[in-house]
Amino acid sequence: MEQDPILQGAKAFQSAFQAANLNLVHNISRLNAPPEDGSDTDENKDPAIVAQDLAAQTSFLRKLKFRYLEQNAKSKYIRAIVSDIDDAAIVTAEDNKALSLVCEEKKERLRAAKAGLAEVRTNVRTLAPQVEEDYLKLKESAAKAALLRQKIIDARLALTRLRHAHPQPRLTIPAAEQRLADQVTEMQVLTDDIEQAAKKVQSVKGSVKSGTQEVEALRAERAEAEKAVKAARVNEDDGRLVPLYDQYMASLALHKSALTIHDSQLVSENELRLTYIVRRRQISITLIFQPNTKQLATASVTGLDELGVDVSELVDSHIHTNDAHGLIAAVLAIARAAP
């Protein structure tokens, strides 16, 4: 008895299905199993690669689902055909309506899920730039915080070093300001003293200059008198020299009293020693000139040691400028200004 062609076709399809070795159950377990090839590594976290993998898996699952539904429908159809009528499952219109309602419900849930997924994707696209901007700001703030932390550590280290270098008692800001104010006041007083000393030096220089001019005039008179004496060739007992001698000595005494000169001594041809009496103190100034040049070579001052005054720099400066008159005036001004 020949078999029904439909039955033969069903058996052939069943044989082909079994020979296809689809292993759907095994594929489901493989799909749900965690990956073993290390695909979830940092190298595959690129958004583009993840998107490609997701698209490929979605396409594969859609094809697999369609293939599964197709094979399931064919299997049910074949079972319905090859089985007895009494044992075959009868599909009624109510069953179709129920299945249709279930499908519609699933479709509605699928649409809602897709809408939610689309909304999530839209939110992700919208919030991604803001998140990236916030991330960059947070990263910059973290870098600034690290820099400030390092600066704070350096400042604390510098403060510790300063405390070790300057132990107690330390100079506080109010004490430093008070010391500065005291120094400013002291400098102002010293400036006023310097101005007064400069004025006194100028006045002494004027008096010394006038006295020097008077001395030069007396020297000229002395030279003329000596010439007149030599020309007259008179004896020492000549009575005409006595008034001239008395007049010269009186003028010399007046000049010495005006300049407070106690004694003047010509030690050698190029060395002159002057002695002054200032406030009951004897001040001696020794001037040594270079021979034949009248250039001041060196000078020494005695009598100011007991006052604690060092005039070495003053002497050196006047020797450098060849100012003997200025040296004498400055020394006398210092002696007069001393208490």
Domain boundaries, the chain: 1-87, 126-166, 190-337
Terminal Cα-to-Cα distance of the chain (whole angstroms): 160
What's the pLDDT at 273?
85
2 has pLDDT over 50: no
222 has pLDDT over 60: yes
314 has pLDDT over 50: yes
Instruction: Give the mean pLDDT of 23-42.
Output: 59
Instruction: Give the number of other CB atoms < 10 A from CB of residue 78.
Output: 18
What's the pLDDT at 250?
58
Residue 1 — pLDDT band, cuts 50, 70, 90?
Answer: very low
Tens of pLDDT, residue by residue over 144-178, are: 999 999 999 999 999 999 888 877 777 788 888 89
In 231-338, the DSSP E strands lie at 261-268, 271-278, 281-289, 296-302
Tens of pLDDT, residue by residue over 98-118, are: 989 999 999 999 999 999 999
Q: pTM of the full predicted structure?
A: 0.29
Give the DSSP letter of residue 339: -
What's the pLDDT at 139?
93
Say what percent of the chain tops pLDDT 70. 78
Higher pLDDT, 17 or 193: 193
> Whole-angstrom Cα distance, residue 66 to residue 185?
103
What's the pLDDT at 223?
83
Tens of pLDDT, residue by residue over 224-250, are: 887 877 776 555 555 666 666 666 665
Residue 328 — pLDDT band, cuts 50, 70, 90?
Answer: confident
Higher pLDDT, 322 or 171: 322
The encoded tokens of residue 223 equal 């030279």
What's the pLDDT at 128?
87
Residue 33 — pLDDT band, cuts 50, 70, 90?
Answer: low
> Whole-angstrom Cα distance, residue 80 to residue 95?
16
For residues 126-153, b (16+ Cβ closer than 10 Å) or e, as one string?
A: eeeeeeeeeeeeeeeeeeeeeeeeeeee
SS3 (DSSP) at 85: coil
